Chain A
């Protein structure tokens, strides 16, 4: 019984995160301004990181954890660089 509940809640979590990623992508296309798109990209990164962790629970493999850590780090650096670009118009000062 509880095993079935776990199966369904993993599926629920995956569906929720997939919808969340779709909504973030929608905001990225709609904008309206550059800062909205950058924030949407950051949200997309966080959501995909969480989705990979749920995949890890589903498959029982820890390799997904490494992938989500890498995505988290790359997402942080990318968003900081984009925010600097928005502020000054150049990344390296």
Chain B
């Protein structure tokens, strides 16, 4: 194992804080992906990766921010951009995928998904 010389002058409590955030973030991501591999249907599986994209990413982003802020003695806010980016983009991809899956299931006549609600009144003349 490498010795991480660059972290030599890190105060002890900061090292502990960074470790805690790293373990929480990586652990949550792992549990989310285990769920993703184990859950039986697609609509259940779609919930599992959000563990990794909410507090999984949050934990590792916090660890990285604290680590580099203390080491370079100036506030490092780079990582917030990744956090915001992941928070904004994940729901978009999940929604698009879920709608695609609904569309595919409905066009195949899968009985396990709710039918598309019809528009109330068809516009006359169309």
Contact = CB atoms under 8 A, between A and B. Distances in A.
Given A43-B49, A80-B92, A86-B97, A50 B78 contact: no
Interface residues of A, number: 55
Interface residues of B, number: 59
Interface of B: 1-4, 6-8, 10, 12-13, 15-16, 18-20, 22-23, 25-27, 29-30, 32-34, 36-37, 42, 45-46, 49, 52-53, 56-57, 60-61, 63-64, 67-68, 71, 78-79, 81-82, 85-86, 89-90, 92-93, 96-97, 99-101, 103-104
Interface in A18-36: 19-21, 23-24, 26-27, 33-36
Q: Is chain B's interface secondary structure helix, strand, loop, or mixed overall?
A: helix
Contact of B78 (A14, A16, A65): A65
Contact of A87 (B15, B18, B53, B100): B100
B25 A50 contact: yes
